[in-house]
Each structure stands twice: as C-alpha cells, then as structure tokens.
Amino acid sequence: LAAVQSWENNWDNLTAFLSYPKEIRKLIYTTNIIESFNASLRKYTRNKKVFPNDDAALKSIYLAAQSISKKWKKTRSKWGQIYNQLYICFPNRL
C-alpha cells in the first residue's frame, strides 16, 4: 500500500520523461553505457584507496576516463535522431 501511495504522490515526477520524444526517453532509461563506464572507472581506482588530495583523485579519474574512452568501439544507434531531439528539447545546452 505504501508503494502505491508513493507512486501516486510522485506521479508527476515519475512520468515527467514521458513528455520527451521516444529517442530521448530511450536514452534516459538505457543505462548500460553508464554502468559500463562506472565499472571501468572502479577497476582503475580500486587499487588506489587513498589520494593525497582532491586534485589527485580528479586527475586519476580523468586519466582513467581518457583510457576507457579509447576502447569504445560502438556508436549509439540512431545517434543523429537522438541528437536532433536533444537539440530541439534543450537548445541552449548543446
């Protein structure tokens, strides 16, 4: 019962993404790329538990991200359509 009430109380927030075009909705709910990237980052930072300061941690993550991005071979299916929809919905952000 609490779960149903939570859904009802937050319905506007939960369904906000339905106002976007299909391409953007699929991009929002498809998290495999993000999960893969986070898993790869964890592999790079797992061995180094302590950083001397915040800048060292940021530099390590940046270098790991650069290394990870070199391995990416796939492109997002229908990226042209997705990009166009993002540009229409968020014109000042791209």
In tens, the pLDDT along 53-83 reads 989 888 988 998 998 888 777 777 888 898 9
CA–CA dist 65, 27 (Å, integer): 21
pLDDT at residue number 10:
92
pTM: 0.51
Provide the pLDDT for residue 55: 92
* pLDDT at residue 5, as a whole number: 94
What is the reported pLDDT for 36?
A: 83
CA–CA separation, 26 vs 20, rounded Å?
10
- Spatial distance between the Cα atoms of 35 and 26, rounded to a whole number of angstroms: 15
